[in-house]
Amino acid sequence: MSKFNSEKVLPRYLFLAVMLTIIGLAVVTKAGITMTVKKSYWETVAKRLRSDSDSVRPNRGNILSSDGQLLASSIPEYKIFMDYQAGSKEDTAWARKRDSIWYADLDSLCIGLNHIFPEWTPEQFKARLEEGKHKEITNSKTGEKTIGARHWAVWPKRISYNTYCEVQELPFFNMPSNKGGFHAEKFEARRRPFGSLAERTIGDIRSFEGGKDTARFGIELSYDSILRGKYGIERKEKVLNKKVSFTVKPPVDGADIVTTIDVGMQDLAEQAVIEGLKKWNASMGVAILMEVKTGDVKAIVNMRRGADGEYHEQFNDAISYRCEPGSVFKVASFLVALDDGVIPGDTSFQIPTGNGIMKMHGANMKDHNWHHGGYGTINVARALEVSSNIGVSYVIDKFYGSNPTKYVEGLYRVGIGQDLKLPIVGYLPPNIRMPDTKTSNKALYWSKTTLPWMSIGYETQIAPINTVTFYNAIANNGRMMRPRFVKQFLKEGQVVYETQPEVIKEQIAKPQAIKTMQTILRHVVSQGLGKRAGSHSFQVSGKTGTAQVAKAGGYKSGTVEYWLSFCGYFPSDDPRYTCIVCIKKMGLPASGGLMSGGIFHHISEGVMAKSLKLRVEDARDSLLAFAPDVKGGDNAASTYILNELGIKNAATPETPVKITEGKMPDVIDMGARDAIYLLERQGVKVQLHGMGRVKRQSIAAGSELKQGMVCVLELQ
């Protein structure tokens, strides 16, 4: 090994140390110059190359009916603004040129805005735009004052995409936003094509400034995470004076939801409930229509009278309004007794109801006909047919008075107290308390009168959805189905998940007990108090209910309202649908069979009529040769129908209506579809009132057409 030569090595190390010191000093000096002398230069470069990340909103999923009709969908809406300081401040030449273009196009711009928004005159638009242009703006940070608003609303309301495109074509507004200053904010508006139909169940979205939205209730809220989708990320990099967008993470659109709601049945049920509420001057009405085999909720109605005197969906009372159900609860009481075998299945057990008034542990139990002498001695079946309070309470108190816990456990066993665990926000499970004499809470204390009054539907709180689910189980031979509101989830039209009908209880009671109750419920409608709910076309089974609802001070000191109900299923021999109708009204008359049963009658007959399948051949008279009148319009449809009906040598459809460009056509006697077809081809917006053929049009035939005109058509 050679000896270390310090005379050769040390000078080399010294040279390297000096070089590294010089380089270090150069780096520090350069950094100091960059941080001080060239600070403003590099800050300008950084601003020009700045990168911003924004979240990208996904498209919210649609809500569909069971047959695929659109119940709720998102559409874009816009608010339009002007930035009077658009462009670079240093480019004074462009600023002067922009002002000259502005004043040259201002009158044309205002006239164009007036055509699109006829509510304001051109003079009003001009005053509005001039106000924004001369508005003095003060910078909150620097205190600098400038002339011209930066975000001046051109029109105060949101507009549709088509209207936004029209506005963009106007003079000056058709310039790039960084030049002319016209810009817009985009919002996602939730729209329901069928208006308020099943509004509280479908739900709603409240949109806020800045594009935010919040689901409020119903399916929109319960399935918000599925409908909303997932936000994406978009990066915008500023290069010179332009911003270039790059998608970092694409958004994931929300899934579409297919509900169990049938639009036709829902509309039918709503109309029947509203007509019944008006007829009986009631304050609230609820109806639920359920498919027996699946538990699918085909219609759900929640109507309350508003301040304007009209009926609207304000709360989802069908799933959340817990109250004392009244006599519809008697079916559960007797089913418990039948299932326990304490009364014979042939319902021959005799009940001494006497003259209609019976002492129950010191309190008077009355039948509704006590002032006519009561029903005397009747059997179990007759007790339900005439809805005898004494008949039911006597049986339950006699056989369960010494052990009320067994009775309450039986109520839960047959499913009337079942927590349905519905996916819809707002559902409240039944409140049926167990016997407890030690509690200090008066509302929970179990007295000697609790059992007989509970057996006839008092001292419990149950929402209509639980009652109809219980009756649906009886119709379904004892199998209790969970109410289903959603059937499928779709992505791009493909089913990604399908919910299945869910059985809550395979058998709520013994088959013989169920069969006996089915017979009794059929007799309630055919020969009892439920006759108004029946039909001449098919058999109906069900039970009436009338309960007093105390307000402001109790039954004696306060005002008493009535909770009237009818719950049943149809047709009795092969049940397809179960339905409950409840209304709340003040004062007499008050009859669940007459009032709620009458509404049930209209719903059941309407639903069955829609399901009838009639052959066209059966309605055709072979001896009658006729040629139907066909009004002008989209004649391809009428020709197709005539051919499908097999009508030979029919008269040629009328000559299409003569259309003069710029003139209002005559659409009297046309069907709604053809009238809309003709008018919208002329650029006229249409509003329909009524059903049938057009009998009146608000704009006379031959009138000169103007852009944005709205024609109201009255149909009969």
Q: pLDDT digit string (tens) for 381-418?
A: 999 999 999 999 999 999 999 999 999 999 999 999 99
Beta bridge partners of 486: 259
Q: Residue 575 gets which letter from DSSP?
A: -
Confidence band for 493, pLDDT divided at 50, 70 and 90: confident
Position 622 scores a pLDDT of 46
Interval 354-375 mean pLDDT: 91
pTM exceeds cut of 0.75 = no
User: Does 680 have pLDDT greater than 80?
Assistant: no
- What stretch of H or E contains 581? strand 577-586
Strand segments (E) across 88-231: 136-138, 145-147, 152-153, 159-160, 182-191, 204-207, 213-217
- For range 220-224, the mean pLDDT: 92
From 154-158, 241-245, 598-602, the region with the lowest mean pLDDT: 241-245
Which whole number is the average pLDDT over 463-488?
Answer: 97
pLDDT on residue 100: 84
| Percent of the chain scoring above 70 in pLDDT | 86
What pLDDT sits at residue 322?
93
Could you report the per-residue pLDDT of 253-274, keeping only the tens digit for each? 899 999 999 999 999 999 999 9
**Cis preceding linkage at 464, omega within 30:** no
Is 512's pLDDT higher than 50? yes
How many alpha carbons fall within 13 Å on the CB side of residue 204?
13
> Is a pLDDT exceeding 80 seen at residue 625?
no
Output 47 or 590, whichever has higher pLDDT.
590
Cα separations in angstroms, 13 against 26, 334, 485: 20, 107, 84
107-131 pLDDT, tens per residue? 999 999 999 999 999 999 999 999 9
Q: Could you give the CA distance from residue 62 to residue 85 in angstroms, rounded to a whole number? A: 40
Between CA 101 and CA 113 the distance in angstroms is 17
Cis before 589? omega within 30: yes
Asked which of 146-160, 253-267, 279-293, 453-467 is least confident by mean pLDDT, the reply is 146-160
Q: What pLDDT, on the 0 to 100 scale, is given for residue 656? A: 53
Beta bridge partners of 234: 54, 247
Amino acid at 591: S
Q: List all residues 6 or more positions away from 73 whose beta carbon is below 8 Å from its beta carbon.
A: 62, 63, 190, 191, 193
